[in-house]
Amino acid sequence: MSRDAHSGLRLAALLAMAAVTAIGLAACDQNKSYSHKGGPVDGWAVWGHGVQGQRYSANTQITPENVKDLKVAWTYRTGDLSKPGERADLAFEATPILANNTLYLCSPRNRIAALDPKTGKQKWMRDLKPDTNGATVIVCRGVSYWKDSQAPANAFCAQRIFAGTIDGKMWALDADTGKPCPGFGTNGVVNLQADLGYVEKPGLYGVSSAPTIVGDKVITGSKIIDFHNVDMPGGVVRALDARTGALVWAFTAAPPSVMADPTIQGAQTDSAAKPADAKMKAAAAPAAAPMQTYPRSAPNVWAPMSVDLKNRLIYLPTGTPQIDAVLGKGDWDYYGSSIVALNVDTGAVVWHYQFVHKDIWDYDTPAQPLLFDYKAPDGKVIPALAQATKMGYIFVLNRLTGQPIFPVKETPVSTGGLQKGLSPTQPIPVLPEHQITITKMTDKDMFGFALVDKWDCQRRFNKLKNDGIFTPFYSQSSVDYPVSVGGMDWGGLTFDPKRNILVVNSNSVLGAHHLAPHKGSDGYSPLIGTPYRQVYDNMMSMFGAPCNAPPWGKLAGIDISTGKKIWEVPLGTTRDEAPWPLWFHLGVPNQGGAITTASGLTFIAATTDRYFRAFSTETGKELWRVSLPAAGQSMPMTYRLDSNGRQYVVVAAGGHSALHNKQGDYVIAYALP
């Protein structure tokens, strides 16, 4: 018998022994039980746990020692799955909230569900039935809860769930029944598209993130399809009265030069207006446009916002301006790809800080800002904000002034390519240590499972136009690194204040793209109104892996006082995306976020390999993982209802169409026996 045959038998025997051992351990685990008395009791009242967006739970019942014993406590299914022949571009990214002794969540197509938090049994479900025509990815990340302090305790709609839809409506639902609240807007709904002017398709403008509740205000931004058209609806942020839906204030991220121009209707007043620049109107727009209150094509705010209640500031992560990003026109990027701090009571700008100048790469600000107290090595404490970016950089700012706490260098970058007016420099922070460390790839950075696929990747890479990070668009294919899902995307950051550790998951995937004349239909971003369209070119290997060397996904812990990494590990395996035997712990692309607990645990799904994991926040060691029925492209949450009850950890598992993985509609809760 050959040596290879002996090795194969030995491997098979080891696998069999491991399986028997695992079965025995599982049987032993079934007999374990835990006392659930005592310890902290913490809920999850808003999307990021609190309005500061730290995603940190004070619960300690589940520990690094017992996390391996977690079992499924209950499973709920939303029923929101594509039927044969339907569009399947769904992403189940929802995080439930706990309020009114109930879990509330949304499905991708805005089915709002209320669940019993102990059993997962549905209390009610309201299908808001949005028009998804035009939406590139159909998604809803969460809903919000509000209690009317002026209403009798048991009155109808004294407690409300606010839910934004993919077609731009804000609904107010009674928290106990799911029925619309008639006093809010028109029969419980405010149409956010009503004053935007021409909207080509309903799904081009909508709401994907949970609104922010401050006092009696419901504050919402919007999701606008990037690089679709130079004449798009304005990216306004609106504060609505939680009782009536009336407008309290509105902020539009159009530049001050536009807002100060009295000839541009809608800049100074809330009157009907024509587009900010008539020359930029899309050819398909009708001659008699609908009511338009706000300047067109200003940057939007699609990610969740954060609030400093003490200092009355709300922080807006802004998107990419449609006009400037495509044509390099004027100063339309003034507020684009930035953080904008507003007075939460008036909507007035207090400060703003820009992370990308003249953003043509879709490097908009993708994640909720994280607010925390920065404890400097010298003992000084500064109110701070940490922002994850698609470039893989984390910026740490004084949240009262917008000034960087760690140094930021304006770094020279290329201004070549077909688009004009690009910035000759881009801000790159010195610290915290970067998730993306390669600023210019070479063919030595290419990867292969074998020589043949590595050679093919190197061959194709060497044909790319390569100016390093922030390579502009050319007519020939050029480097796109990191791709526009990051670095970091909406999953953002989580912070353990007890250990002073910032935890971040990120991607490191090479792509390629070019600009082409307007003919044909290929290209995710049509750039209507310009001479070009964006075409995304394949830089995956012949075996379906990214051409650049792994890890393609990472999880890291950062000492936020010094900005230095404490640990970094590959996040995920190739198991569910590659055929056996190509199952390696290489770190894989991920979409979703992490949470931390006071016991020292970091929970995260996010990966394409369909696992839900727990790590030690202090060391990065993987302590537990469980297979999910579909990938968890979401952010988990955890809660405990009372001092005698169990701590639950809940995750939505439904996959993501853009990752081409298995679709699902599962919400799964785990707890100790």
Distance between alpha carbon 437 and the CA centroid of its chain, in Å? 22
* Contact between 349 and 299 (Cβ < 8 Å): no
Q: What angle do CA 314, 319, 323 make, to 5 degrees?
A: 130
Identify whether 522 is a catalytic site residue: no
CA distances to 96, 103, 638 from 44, rounded to whole Å, are: 8, 9, 7
Side-chain-facing half-sphere of 298: CA atoms under 13 Å = 27
* φ, ψ dihedrals at 3, nearest 5°: -65, -40
Nearest to 353 by CA among 316, 312, 302: 316
Q: How far is CA 130 from CA 65, 105, 107, 125, in A?
A: 45, 16, 12, 15
User: Given strand 189-191, what is the order of strands in its sheet?
Assistant: 144-147, 159-164, 169-174, 189-191
Annotate 369-426 with DSSP letters as a single string: -EEEEEE-TTS-EEEEEEEE-TTS-EEEEETTT--BSS-EEEEE----SS--S--SEE
List 362, 576, 609, 665, catalytic entry? 362
- Distance, CA of 667 to CA of 651 (rounded, Å): 6
Q: Which amino acid is at 192?
A: L
DSSP 8-state class, residue 278: G
Cα–Cα dist 399/567, whole Å: 27
Distance CA 62, CA 41 (A): 12
Please identify every residue annotated as catalytic: 362
